[in-house]
Structure 1
Amino acid sequence: MLNFPKPYLKIYESGGVDWQINIEPKPLHTLVFDSARKNPEKTAMIFYGHKVTYAQLAGCVVRVAAALYELGLRKGDRVALMLPNCPDFVFAYYAAMSLGGIVVNTNPMYVEREIEHQVNDSGSKMIITLVDLYPRVKNVRDNTPLEKVLLTGFTGKPEALPGDTIWFPDLYAVDRTPAPAVEIDPARDLAVLQYTGGTTGVSKGAMLTHLNLYANSMQTNHFFNNDAKKQLIMSVLPFFHVYGMTCCMNLAVASATTMLLVPRFVPGEIAQLISQYKPTFFPGVPTMFVAMLNSPEFKDYKDYASVMAYNSGGGPLPLEIGYSFDKLLEGTGSTMTEGYGLSESSPVTHCNPEFGPNKRGSIGVPYPGTHAAVVDIETGTRVLPVGEVGELVIQGPQVMAGYWNRPEQTAQTLKNGWLYTGDMARMDEDGYFYIVDRKKDLIIAGGYNIYPREVEEVLFEHAKVQEAVVAGVPDAYRGETVKAYVVLKEGQTATEQELIAFCRERLAPYKAPKAVEFRQELPKSAVGKLLRRKLVEEELKKLEQSGK
């Protein structure tokens, strides 16, 4: 049993916020109906100017649930949602859950191979997607358990639907006899299979229960306790990604506030929407904020300051980006905080609080009701003292039930009630946690341990660098060597030796990159997370082709 330190409780107490949180277990979809009862005329969603109230949202969820039941959906069945942010995603998500169905969030950018793997691995019997994406589904449908394909679109119903498909908007266009009530045990019944995507190898389905997601929504609502800052949530993070699902959609519904739905991040469109609607809360990933800082559409601090609270997650926020936002927002009352989470924890576990110091470079303190500790990587059982680096472990109501059909990997990740994150971290004397790097991303060169993030932070300090990723690539002499992949700011030029020399002035010689590759863009996940693994795979392929 781990003995975890709790100095972060002092931060809660000094800010007058209770770390203890009483969460009454409820099925996740009840959030919709609770908010509709209390605020029926409140706007739940805005999508390209079209508004949907909470009463309308609840009505659509009921009608969709009735239609899905008629189509054969039963408790425990999996339903793949392969949609961008749009009202139909929200309707389908809560409707499927109300029947005891399990939502399988599926990236609309997936190609056939990825769709086939995820549908087969999850055993999904239905998929709901855009009509434009149907050709990909059609190409793999015969190789999957899919029984029903439901289509939707942004430009209306086609004159002729392709193949054996159903037009999803027809499901909520007319009144229907409600589906029979389904008994759901929030602590045991699954709500979502959230596939870990893209950054750590084989995609696995994190089994998130109704309680996991309901609790994390309540924790987020409690942590961000300033209701004024949650009135209009910029919802450009994809809902099929766990961060957008919880911190945009579920948070909005839990707090009966409004989602400003945006299917795709385009800086110019975001600038226009901020100017038009004045969203109060903007959860995003670092690459979004980097793009905004380098976009001509955001010309001065007024563009940024109309948003009352920014929150960065989904990857480490470079220090220079955080400091740039601090400077832009100084004196405006707006803030930029950084948090942390992962698919296996629904996802949020830590964040910098408004009721305490906002420490740049830190992921903040554990969420209400969340325990966290740093343990040694040798045994995973010894809690390390303040300042020492080890693996971050987490315990709380938001931690998953395990991986779908993967008992061995579940046992490696969940131990004695603790989630072993695979992230290297340290804790300071105030109970703030700092992610040093992924355990798997550690570079060992000539016997020295090198954390890529430390090198990336230095590269971000260079005035010409817009984005940077550092990875360990094979080296015959050192075992691994440090290579940097860099995107320069528009109109800038630089040489490999210039950036290497810059790093050598600021890092120990063994940490400085030995090579720099300039690129027009870097590989990213659907949510904008930089994919270091893809770059390493490219290097290995080059070596294989060269015969070395």
Structure 2
Amino acid sequence: MLNLAVMLEDSARAVPDRGAVVSGDRTLTYAQLDASANQVANLLASRGIGPGDKVALSCPNVAQFPIVYYGILKAGAVVVPLNVLLKRREIAYHLADSDASAYFCFEGSAELPLGQEGWAGFNEVEGCRDFFLITAAAAPDPAAPAPIAGAETLARALDGQSTEFTARVTEAGDTAVILYTSGTTGQPKGAELTHANMALNALTCHRTFGTAEHDVHLITLPLFHSFGQTVQMNAGLAARATLVLMPRFDAHGALSLMGRHQVTFFAGVPTMYWALLDAEISEADATAAAQNLRIAGSGGAALPVEIHRRFRRRFGTSIREGYGLSETSPLATFTPTGAEARPGSIGKPVWGVEVDLIADDWTPVAAGEVGEVVVRGHNVMRGYYGRPEATAEVMRDGWFRTGDLASRDEDGWLYIVDRAKDMIIRGGFNVYPRELEEVLHSHPAVSMAAVVGVPHDKHGEEIKAYVVPAPGVRITEDDLVAWCRETMAGYKYPRLVEFRDTLPMNATGKILKRELRTETATSGH
């Protein structure tokens, strides 16, 4: 048997009085976190929810996320974490698609009325029986009326529930979590991840990063996403570390928390590192933030080489880059422990995981050639929930096709070239946006860049760069195009440049190129 809740339970037995989670001004010890999760498990059991049942959770990075997450697991049920930015219709889709029996939803705020959207979505789904509204107050009055008419607050539901609970028996191959893909093509699909997938990946993260018991993680990545969930929450609690939760990332706030809590471990996506470097802070504050930092990890998208260099210069720590997807729990590759990071590389396969590069027909590509990344190992999902055809399209003999293109050097280090779907074909030539973005980031006037292909009558596709200019630097579109012409091959430099104050991103900070392409197609240029 194996239950992912052991990540918390084992540490609560070993270090009950150690701080497990810091959320705002509130700190929960391991014993308190475990006891609160037990109350959630008892609540679910009292409502007839148990092994195999699906339970959805919409919650930002606050203490209630791990409390409810592990409570669901203890009950033997399956956690279905949902993006907190979803609207009513999208929430209803996810609840129905996952066959959720219950739904825990954070109340949100005036700017993000998550509770209202969640309640409305819940009421559109017949099979979802129980709705629990998570309120922001640390100790709300259980007798207070529900903020949303008809909705039951979690505080009221937990009133009187025991803090003791024996975790239900689940097998290693049972589904623990269903993580929904971002839906870049078609409707989002739920990746079924087993207790073994999630537990082994968390322990592999701990081993790969070289984390220690007294590490302090700053978690700005959303916990509903596989990156923050496995790499920091599950791995961090298994390592008996302290997790500092930040509900919404902003660079100044993150740097302040790093100094105040003596953070040793930070993980983020490239746009987060970009924001940290561009934040206008004093040298004293920068020194305080960097003083204890010893591990910095990046994933979710390719990290520009220039960001590597700037971060090391300012914070004295090399960023170690990794790679993974929701379908791989997520970690598949990472910079090996003890090895110097190679800017631009996602490292090598982690323990127990195989990675290969293939052509469209599943045959391996020759050394030095670009191929699609395929992954096999303890981390690969069971399949997409309720979608055997979609599963069969990407799985063969245990191998999972990622849709990402990469190359491999003579030492076995892997380098992501681009998403297969992002590749631009201009006049018959393959152009990889990642390569162009690397070059653009080296220009002193460019703070951030995203390159996409746009329709073109003669060439099939033309290359367009969306650029966020660096503060205080002036440059025209024509000047940047001219520089690109001098710097890049004639078939690949961007002929079109558009300056923007910001670029569209999802909740994890990944640039949404599909929105840029859609916008361009709609506007016609």
TM-score under structure 2 length normalisation: 0.94
Amino acid at match of 1:485: Y
* Residues 493 and 177 (structure 1), Cα distance of their counterparts in 2 relative to 1, 3 Å cut: closer
Aligned to 2:298: 312
Distance 1:263 1:181 in 2: 28
Distance 2:243 2:401 in 1: 33
For the pair 1:348 / 2:331, whether they are aligned, the reply is yes
Shift in Å, 1:180: 6.9
Distance 1:402 1:471 in 2: 30
| Aligned partners of 2:208 and 2:336 also within 8 Å | yes
| Aligned partners of 2:212 and 2:241 also within 8 Å | no
Aligned to 1:160: 145
| Aligned partners of 1:44 and 1:253 also within 8 Å | yes
Instruction: Trace 1:280-429 onto structure 2 (pairs within 5 A).
Output: 280-297=264-281, 299=283, 302=287, 303-330=289-316, 334-377=317-360, 379-381=361-363, 383-429=364-410
SS in 2 for 1:534: helix
Amino acid at match of 2:434: R
Q: How big is each residue's C-alpha offset from its partner over 1:227-272, in whole Å with a ceiling of 9 and x where there is no partner?
A: 27x6111111110011000111101111111101111101121121
Aligned to 1:218: 203
For the pair 1:540 / 2:521, whether they are aligned, the reply is yes
For the pair 1:146 / 2:128, whether they are aligned, the reply is yes
Distance 2:140 2:498 in 1: 47
Distance 2:182 2:48 in 1: 29
For the pair 1:252 / 2:228, whether they are aligned, the reply is no
* Residues 430 and 126 (structure 1), Cα distance of their counterparts in 2 relative to 1, 3 Å cut: same
Amino acid at match of 2:439: V
For the pair 1:73 / 2:35, whether they are aligned, the reply is no
Aligned to 1:10: none
Aligned to 1:108: 84
Aligned to 2:16: 40
Aligned-residue identity in percent: 37
Q: How big is each residue's C-alpha offset from its partner over 1:94-123, in whole Å with a ceiling of 9 and x where there is no partner?
A: 111112211111111111222122112112
Distance 1:226 1:249 in 2: 13
Amino acid at match of 1:115: I
More divergent stretch after superposition (115-124 vs 430-439): 115-124
More divergent stretch after superposition (111-120 vs 241-250): 111-120
* Residues 181 and 319 (structure 1), Cα distance of their counterparts in 2 relative to 1, 3 Å cut: closer
Distance 1:298 1:323 in 2: 20
Distance 2:322 2:136 in 1: 33
User: Equivalent of 1:269, from 249, 253, 268?
Assistant: 253
Distance 2:203 2:250 in 1: 30
| Aligned partners of 2:95 and 2:122 also within 8 Å | no
Aligned to 2:60: 84
| Aligned partners of 2:216 and 2:244 also within 8 Å | yes
Shift in Å, 1:414: 1.0
* Residues 437 and 507 (structure 1), Cα distance of their counterparts in 2 relative to 1, 3 Å cut: same
User: Equivalent of 1:126, from 85, 89, 102?
Assistant: 102
For the pair 1:531 / 2:512, whether they are aligned, the reply is yes
Distance 2:291 2:274 in 1: 16
* Residues 57 and 141 (structure 1), Cα distance of their counterparts in 2 relative to 1, 3 Å cut: closer
Distance 1:181 1:529 in 2: 36
Amino acid at match of 1:431: G
* Residues 523 and 51 (structure 1), Cα distance of their counterparts in 2 relative to 1, 3 Å cut: same
RMSD of the alignment, in Å? 1.9
Question: Which stretches in structure 2 are left out of the alignment for 5+ residues?
Answer: 109-113
Amino acid at match of 1:483: K
| Aligned partners of 1:371 and 1:395 also within 8 Å | yes
Aligned to 1:520: 501
| Aligned partners of 1:115 and 1:137 also within 8 Å | yes
More divergent stretch after superposition (493-502 vs 480-489): 493-502
Distance 1:201 1:495 in 2: 37
Q: How big is each residue's C-alpha offset from its partner over 1:182-229, in whole Å with a ceiling of 9 and x where there is no partner?
A: 321112x1111101115454311111111100010111111122527x
Aligned to 1:191: 176
Amino acid at match of 1:123: D
| Aligned partners of 1:148 and 1:165 also within 8 Å | no
| Aligned partners of 1:65 and 1:178 also within 8 Å | no
SS in 2 for 1:505: helix
* Residues 41 and 171 (structure 1), Cα distance of their counterparts in 2 relative to 1, 3 Å cut: farther
More divergent stretch after superposition (412-421 vs 167-176): 167-176
Q: How big is each residue's C-alpha offset from its partner over 1:436-475, in whole Å with a ceiling of 9 and x where there is no partner?
A: 0011111011101000101111111111111111111111
SS in 1 for 2:36: helix
SS in 2 for 1:127: strand
Distance 1:173 1:339 in 2: 43
Which has the higher relative contact order, 1 or 2, with Cα contacts under 8 A spaced 6 or more apart? 1
SS in 1 for 2:492: coil
| Aligned partners of 1:157 and 1:167 also within 8 Å | no
Q: How big is each residue's C-alpha offset from its partner over 1:110-144, in whole Å with a ceiling of 9 and x where there is no partner?
A: 11222122112112122111223222123333321
Aligned to 1:235: 219
Amino acid at match of 1:125: S
Distance 1:354 1:182 in 2: 36
Distance 1:43 1:305 in 2: 21
Shift in Å, 1:179: 5.7
* Residues 65 and 465 (structure 1), Cα distance of their counterparts in 2 relative to 1, 3 Å cut: same
Amino acid at match of 1:253: L
Question: Which stretches in structure 1 are left out of the alignment for 5+ residues?
Answer: 1-24
Aligned to 1:207: 192
Amino acid at match of 1:360: P
Aligned pairs, how many? 513
| Aligned partners of 2:200 and 2:378 also within 8 Å | yes
Aligned to 1:279: 263
